[in-house]
A and B are shown apart, each in its own frame.
Chain A
Amino acid sequence: MDIDGEDVSRRLHVKFVTKLDSPFKVPVNSVAIPSNVTRLGLSSIVNSIIESENPEWKTEPFDFLIDGELIRMSLEEFLLAKGISAERTLEIEYIRAVTPRKEEEPSLHDDWVSAVNGSSPRFILTGCYDGLGRVWSSAGSCSHILEGHSGAISSVALVNSNDAETVTVATASKDRTLRLFKFDPAESVDSTTKVRAYKILRGHKASVQSVSAQKSGNMVCSSSWDCTINLWNTNESTSEGESVSVKKRKGNNQAEESQSEGEAVTSLVGHTQCVSSVVWPEHDVIYSSSWDHSVRRWDVETGKDSLNLFCGKALNTVDVGGESSALIAAGGSDPILRVWDPRKPGTSAPVFQFSSHSSWISACKWHKSSWFHLLSASYDGKIMLWDLRTAWPLSVIDTHNDKVLSADWWKGESVVSGGADSNLRISSGIAIS
């Protein structure tokens, strides 16, 4: 293969490598390609190479990495920008493009969908402004309705799914309470079952904004407009004597259920304004974001905040993930999604800033298994998938026609989202290796 120096566009020697499995593999030969190709061109080249070997190949979009950085411009510009020599044979790694390939039917709710949780691969949890929580086993099929709240549900969390039969979930509501529900996701797929809370957690003085469960499932924490973060026990028993069991009679229903009430184990005080979001990623570490423009890390044992990141904007959401689950992503009252690395000493400046949204960011979630991927949902009605290796969004999901209030990953390959158009939307087929 010789280089034609007089060619209109310069040619580059590249070698395509991948970590993908056999149908996606191409022979490890160096090929000469024009230097002005973009991602699309590279993708079509790889597709044609695969097709030449495998005639039944369906075209598949790919994304390309050079030295761990995604290509988002023409190859020539990329090399220039990064100062990579075009003389030697370039090694381009390709991965399947992170973009939803399938859009499931929307699942209509009665009111705005304010909370979505996809922690469990078996079902999707949603919270709604009509005060009901719903469990969706798949798109369009609601298996359980979690009832009891008198105000809009603001957040839902999966507490415990260890034992196969029953699953514990927690819901936070604007009626200042949290409720814990238990149900069996396997039963009654055909008809919708109504579930009542087995435990009501009272103690917040204002709307509860967010709830998150400990990994073990023994405790949940919740954040509220009263500027506190409360920690609660989730166990049903009242052996500690701290909670009083009350019998509640359901007005028109014959069923009589036992509902226990729980009080907060402890309160983490320190935020000066509404605590908008909490996550509990490790055993004794809680991260919280607040409208007082700070992200804090709390040590559960001591109840003190061990980290205080100042952001400058009121924050709506926070999540922890990425490389060794240490990066903090938060979004709030501006269109910028910020990612901090608290391990970096001496700086509180964000290490990444993603600013493709055009309105407030309502949710951000790290992918559970990937170090690089996270999603963000915004009031501009868009959900964006991000890769830390590029500043452009990998893909934009623009299925909602109103504000997106919440979004989450589901099963590692789907994005579930709920918004002000009262729909739960599932975008699936996202290939994240």
Chain B
Amino acid sequence: MTKRSKGANEDKLIETKSKNVSGKSQKQKKPVEAESLKEEDLLQASGTDSDYDGDSLPGSLNSDDFDSDFSDSEDDGTHEGTEDGDVEFSDDDDVLEHDGSIDNEDDDGSEHVGSDNNEEHGSDEDSERGEAVEESDSSEDEVPSRNTVGNVPLKWYEDEKHIGYDLTGKKITKKEKQDKLDSFLATIDDSKTWRKIYDEYNDEDVELTKEESKIVQRILKGEAPHADFDPYAPYVEWFKHDDAIHPLSSAPEPKRRFIPSKWEAKKVVKIVRAIRKGWIKFDKPEEEPNVYLLWGDDSTSDQKSKHLTYIPPPKLKLPGHDESYNPSLEYIPTEEEKASYELMFEEDRPKFIPTRFTSLRSIPAYENALKESFERCLDLYLCPRVRKKRINIDPESLKPKLPSRKDLRPYPNSCYLEYKGHTGAVTSISTDSSGEWIASGSTDGSVRMWEVETGRCLKVWQFDEAIMCVAWNPLSRLPVLAVAMGRDLFFLNTELGTDEEQEITKERLHSGNIPEPDASVAAIVTWLPDELYGGIKIRHFKSISSIDWHRKGDYLSTVMASGETRGVVLHQLSKQKTQRLPFKIRGLPVCTLFHPSLSYFFVATRKDVRVYNLLKPGEATKKLETGLREISSMAIHPGGDNLIVGSKEGKMCWFDMDLSSKPYKTLKNHPKDITNVAVHRSYPLFASCSEDSTAYVFHGMVYNDLNQNPLIVPLEILRGHSSKGGVLDCKFHPRQPWLFTAGADSIIKLYCH
């Protein structure tokens, strides 16, 4: 029994062993089984039932409990020693019974009555168990079998020459079969033959030693296998059996605990039937507790209110320090402040003037109490309250994704040069085709020609009238300046260019043989020699508002704003002739423009722009609806498909004529009238100038790909002109990304990149 004290784990192991057949091959498996048992035991400790053996809950204590049980209930202390084995056995038996029988709900006690009969058998088992314990303790003297085939039927090797394989994997050949007679004779001769046993598995004869044969004999006799084992050793009482204050029930688990209850099963069947037939219903809607936050904020409970439109009334302002009966000194207005309240409008006047009282008692009744509460009531039920729909959008995300200004360089941004000399507002500027010179006209009646590089004024032409327009001939070999003032249009020879060019220019401007004008235009214009500067002047019947050269430098269109249907005429310099437009113009013309490469002609009236084909007289080929109130200026992209229109309300429209007759983009930048717009000849730049004395520079990239819309990015606001009068004209340098601006402050500025 001392072995048992080692621990319940080992105990159980042994018990299971003893129940099964003992054999060498079985013994080998032992350590593995012990492992798995340990795990089982742990599981049992956590309370799960096991059908393995009797001692179910809680682990190690149980078997001993049984022990004590028996000694108490049945045998009353007699035969202490023998009982131990008995108990062990009956315990096992009990388990078997539990496993096997279902109906028997009797107490264990009655079972154990018959257990005494099996005493012999029990002791037999006991002795075997003792041996097992011995062997498990001294496993090193155990001879390993030489065959390694394992637990397979030996008949598989019946027909083979070998019986199996040894540890190194070599075949173990069978012994030669001896003649039966010889072997019989040999057994007769040998005195030890009764001790020999043939081991079929290893194909060898095993001779039992004397000890072993004695053990066998003892087992046959039903005694403990070892002679030195004392089955009647004194009982060591490990646990006392006196009544404890908290007695642990020693009663074995009743059987009903292990089998399902019949009545329960009946109940379940009833419920199942009820569910199937629909008598029992699930998913009953849970009733909401009919409670609410009495002191909760009304505004948060709006989703609970049945009315969708319910809006909680605004809260009254809570009283602060100044409404206190004894506010701090800084809340109390001085006499001057009180006097100043009197001067205020009644609406602005503070409703309540903080005053100090020495005690609560001395506070008079609030005179406005009734009035205010009445007004509050009016507010509550008469004032419509509307829920404001607010969308949370990051304003940044609404901005279009534009490339950085840095990447769009070069563009004009800083003013380095100023052209000073005019005494009146500079109304118009024009650069020559090379970019060396710039001409300007002013209200002081002078036209000046400047050297761009140095700001040197090279030439001055003085006239009596304010200059309206100057335009340099686009041909570099014909350095003629067209100047419009009042009703007259002058062609001035700038005396630039080589000698041959000068000769051609002089010939063109020769006023000797001006041909007779056609009858149709005689009333509108007359060509006259210019006495002042030896050129030609054309007198119109109304004052000229704008001029534009054709790209070939021969034709020039003039616009007379008040000329109505006769407001636009075309002059031909080489033939010194004038012709009216071959089509009718609707509305008052503002400015005109030649297409940079094709024979189209743009006429801007006050509200819209019409495109005419000069080769096909008749109606306009296209009408661009600007949506502007009053157009002031126009400029065309050198590609010819994009038109920029500036208006007097400060708006600028970009038309992509391939896209639509509506503006592709409308830019509202200037607070005042746009006076002029300009497009750069080679760089993707355009600009607008305005009476607010600023000029805006934009990046206007037009792609060759028709699928890609033009990219318009505002780049720079050019300030610098004095605020009176604003900027009257802007022109780009023909080759550099520079912008000239002409101001009403009589200065021309050059903005460079």
Chain A's closest residue to B415 (CB) is A359
Given the complex of chains A and B, what is the CA–CA distance between A274 and B453 in angstroms?
Answer: 11
Which single member of B434, B454, B497, B498 contacts A405 (CB below 8 Å)?
B454
Stretch at the interface among A66-74, A183-191, A235-243, A311-319: A311-319
| Given A205-B498, A333-B416, CB of A225 within 8 Å of CB of B454 | no
Q: Are B436 and A225 in contact (CB under 8 A)?
A: yes
Q: Are B436 and A359 in contact (CB under 8 A)?
A: no
Given the complex of chains A and B, what is the CA–CA distance between A362 and B453 in angstroms?
Answer: 9
Q: Are B454 and A207 in contact (CB under 8 A)?
A: no
Tell me if B714 counts as interface (CB < 8 A to partner A): no
Task: Specify which chain B residues have a CB less than 8 angstroms from the CB of A205 in the assembled complex.
Answer: 498
Q: Are B736 and A314 in contact (CB under 8 A)?
A: yes
Given the complex of chains A and B, what is the CA–CA distance between A129 and B458 in angstroms?
Answer: 9
Given the complex of chains A and B, what is the CA–CA distance between A291 and B454 in angstroms?
Answer: 14
| Given A112-B456, A333-B752, CB of A206 within 8 Å of CB of B416 | no
Tell me if A403 counts as interface (CB < 8 A to partner B): yes
Q: How far is the CB of A209 from chain B (nearest CB, A)?
A: 8
Task: Specify which chain A residues have a CB less than 8 angstroms from the CB of B638 in the assembled complex.
Answer: none
Tell me if A147 counts as interface (CB < 8 A to partner B): no
| Given A129-B456, A312-B410, A420-B454, CB of A291 within 8 Å of CB of B417 | no
Q: Are B498 and A291 in contact (CB under 8 A)?
A: no
Q: Are A273 and B735 in contact (CB under 8 A)?
A: yes
Q: Are B417 and A206 in contact (CB under 8 A)?
A: no
Task: Specify which chain B residues have a CB less than 8 angstroms from the CB of A291 in the assembled complex.
Answer: 435, 735-736
Task: Specify which chain B residues have a CB less than 8 angstroms from the CB of A405 in the assembled complex.
Answer: 454
Task: Specify which chain A residues have a CB less than 8 angstroms from the CB of B410 in the assembled complex.
Answer: 312
Given the complex of chains A and B, what is the CA–CA distance between A225 and B453 in angstroms?
Answer: 11
Q: Are B434 and A206 in contact (CB under 8 A)?
A: yes
Tell me if B455 counts as interface (CB < 8 A to partner A): yes
Tell me if B753 counts as interface (CB < 8 A to partner A): yes
Q: Are A225 and B434 in contact (CB under 8 A)?
A: yes
Q: Are A360 and B417 in contact (CB under 8 A)?
A: yes
| Given A205-B498, A291-B736, A312-B410, CB of A114 within 8 Å of CB of B454 | yes
Give a binary string over B496-519; 1 marks a CB under 8 Å from any A CB, 0 the rest: 011000000000000000000000
Q: Are B753 and A379 in contact (CB under 8 A)?
A: no
Q: Are B436 and A206 in contact (CB under 8 A)?
A: yes
Given the complex of chains A and B, what is the CA–CA distance between A291 and B753 in angstroms?
Answer: 13
Given the complex of chains A and B, what is the CA–CA distance between A218 and B497 in angstroms?
Answer: 29
Task: Specify which chain B residues have a CB less than 8 angstroms from the CB of A379 in the assembled complex.
Answer: 416-417, 455
Given the complex of chains A and B, what is the CA–CA distance between A206 and B435 in angstroms?
Answer: 12
Q: Are A313 and B753 in contact (CB under 8 A)?
A: yes
Q: How far is the CB of B371 from chain A (nearest CB, A)?
A: 69
Tell me if A176 counts as interface (CB < 8 A to partner B): yes
Tell me if A63 counts as interface (CB < 8 A to partner B): no
Given the complex of chains A and B, what is the CA–CA distance between A334 and B416 in angstroms?
Answer: 8
Q: How far is the CB of A63 from chain B (nearest CB, A)?
A: 31
Q: How far is the CB of B476 from chain A (nearest CB, A)?
A: 9
Give a binary string over A133-146; 1 marks a CB under 8 Å from any B CB, 0 the rest: 00000000000000
Given the complex of chains A and B, what is the CA–CA distance between A274 and B456 in angstroms?
Answer: 17
Which single member of A152, A176, A273 contacts B498 (CB below 8 Å)?
A176
Q: Give chain B's interface residue range (CB within 8 Å of chain A).
A: 10 to 19
Q: How far is the CB of B499 from chain A (nearest CB, A)?
A: 9
Task: Specify which chain A residues have a CB less than 8 angstroms from the CB of B753 in the assembled complex.
Answer: 313, 333-334
In this complex, how many residues of chain A approach chain B with their Cβ under 8 Å: the count is 27
Within 8 A of A (CB), among B487-541: 497-498
Within 8 A of A (CB), among B389-440: 410, 416-417, 434-436
Within 8 A of B (CB), among A194-216: 205-207
Task: Specify which chain A residues have a CB less than 8 angstroms from the CB of B458 in the assembled complex.
Answer: 152
Chain A's closest residue to B414 (CB) is A334
Give a binary string over A102-143; 1 marks a CB under 8 Å from any B CB, 0 the rest: 000000000010100000000000000100000000000000
Given the complex of chains A and B, what is the CA–CA distance between A205 and B735 in angstroms?
Answer: 18
Task: Specify which chain A residues have a CB less than 8 angstroms from the CB of B416 in the assembled complex.
Answer: 333-335, 359-360, 379
Chain A's closest residue to B476 (CB) is A206
Task: Specify which chain A residues have a CB less than 8 angstroms from the CB of B434 in the assembled complex.
Answer: 206, 225, 274
Chain B's closest residue to A334 (CB) is B752
Chain B's closest residue to A209 (CB) is B453
Which of A312, A335, A359 has the most chain B CB within a 10 Å cutoff? Answer: A359
Q: How far is the CB of A261 from chain B (nearest CB, A)?
A: 13
Within 8 A of A (CB), among B168-183: none
Chain B's closest residue to A312 (CB) is B410
Task: Specify which chain B residues have a CB less than 8 angstroms from the CB of A225 in the assembled complex.
Answer: 434, 436
Chain B's closest residue to A207 (CB) is B436
Given the complex of chains A and B, what is the CA–CA distance between A114 and B456 in angstroms?
Answer: 11
Given the complex of chains A and B, what is the CA–CA distance between A403 and B416 in angstroms?
Answer: 11
Q: Are B736 and A333 in contact (CB under 8 A)?
A: yes
Q: How far is the CB of B453 from chain A (nearest CB, A)?
A: 7
Given the complex of chains A and B, what is the CA–CA distance between A405 and B451 in angstroms?
Answer: 13
Task: Specify which chain A residues have a CB less than 8 angstroms from the CB of B497 in the assembled complex.
Answer: 206
| Given A291-B736, A312-B410, A314-B736, CB of A274 within 8 Å of CB of B498 | no
Give a binary string over A162-190; 1 marks a CB under 8 Å from any B CB, 0 the rest: 00000000000000100000000000000
Q: How far is the CB of B631 from chain A (nearest CB, A)?
A: 34
Q: How far is the CB of A373 from chain B (nearest CB, A)?
A: 26
Within 8 A of B (CB), among A397-433: 403, 405, 420
Task: Specify which chain A residues have a CB less than 8 angstroms from the CB of B456 in the assembled complex.
Answer: 112, 129, 152, 420
Given the complex of chains A and B, what is the CA–CA distance between A286 and B645 in angstroms?
Answer: 48
Q: How far is the CB of A225 from chain B (nearest CB, A)?
A: 5
Task: Specify which chain A residues have a CB less than 8 angstroms from the CB of B738 in the assembled complex.
Answer: 333
Task: Specify which chain B residues have a CB less than 8 angstroms from the CB of A362 in the assembled complex.
Answer: 454
Given the complex of chains A and B, what is the CA–CA distance between A257 and B99 in angstroms?
Answer: 148
Chain B's closest residue to A333 (CB) is B752
Task: Specify which chain B residues have a CB less than 8 angstroms from the CB of A114 in the assembled complex.
Answer: 454
Task: Specify which chain A residues have a CB less than 8 angstroms from the CB of B752 in the assembled complex.
Answer: 313-314, 333-334, 360
Within 8 A of B (CB), among A222-274: 225, 273-274
Task: Specify which chain B residues have a CB less than 8 angstroms from the CB of A314 in the assembled complex.
Answer: 736, 752
Give a binary string over A259-297; 1 marks a CB under 8 Å from any B CB, 0 the rest: 000000000000001101000000000000001000000
Chain A's closest residue to B454 (CB) is A405
Q: How far is the CB of B732 from chain A (nearest CB, A)?
A: 14
Q: Are A316 and B498 in contact (CB under 8 A)?
A: no
Task: Specify which chain A residues have a CB less than 8 angstroms from the CB of B736 in the assembled complex.
Answer: 291, 314, 333
Q: Are A403 and B498 in contact (CB under 8 A)?
A: no
Q: Are A403 and B455 in contact (CB under 8 A)?
A: yes
Given the complex of chains A and B, what is the CA–CA distance between A216 and B114 in angstroms?
Answer: 145
Q: How far is the CB of B455 from chain A (nearest CB, A)?
A: 7
Given the complex of chains A and B, what is the CA–CA distance between A234 and B410 in angstroms?
Answer: 41
Q: How far is the CB of B420 from chain A (nearest CB, A)?
A: 11
Q: Are B436 and A274 in contact (CB under 8 A)?
A: yes
Chain A's closest residue to B735 (CB) is A273
Chain A's closest residue to B409 (CB) is A312
Given the complex of chains A and B, what is the CA–CA distance between A426 and B393 in angstroms?
Answer: 67
Task: Specify which chain A residues have a CB less than 8 angstroms from the CB of B436 in the assembled complex.
Answer: 206-207, 225, 274
Give a binary string over B180-209; 1 marks a CB under 8 Å from any A CB, 0 the rest: 000000000000000000000000000000
Given the complex of chains A and B, what is the CA–CA distance between A223 and B525 in angstroms?
Answer: 45
Q: How far is the CB of B458 from chain A (nearest CB, A)?
A: 8
Q: How far is the CB of A246 from chain B (nearest CB, A)?
A: 15
Task: Specify which chain B residues have a CB less than 8 angstroms from the CB of A359 in the assembled complex.
Answer: 416-417
Which of B410, B434, B454, B738 has the most chain A CB within a 10 Å cutoff? Answer: B454
Given the complex of chains A and B, what is the CA–CA distance between A206 and B452 in angstroms?
Answer: 14
Chain B's closest residue to A380 (CB) is B416
Which of B416, B455, B753 has the most chain A CB within a 10 Å cutoff? Answer: B416
Task: Specify which chain B residues have a CB less than 8 angstroms from the CB of A333 in the assembled complex.
Answer: 416, 736, 738, 752-753
User: Apart from A206-B497, A333-B416, A360-B752, what are 5 other A-B pairs with CB-CB below 8 Å?
Assistant: A206-B436, A276-B453, A314-B752, A333-B752, A360-B416
- Which 10 A-B pairs rank lowest in CB-CB distance, beginning with the nearest? A359-B416, A333-B752, A360-B416, A225-B436, A314-B736, A205-B498, A273-B735, A225-B434, A405-B454, A112-B456
5 inter-chain pairs at a CB distance below 8 angstroms, sorted by A residue, are: A314-B752, A333-B752, A359-B416, A379-B416, A403-B455
Could you tell me which A residues sit within 8 Å of B by CB distance?
Answer: 112, 114, 129, 152, 176, 205-207, 225, 273-274, 276, 291, 312-314, 316, 333-335, 359-360, 362, 379, 403, 405, 420
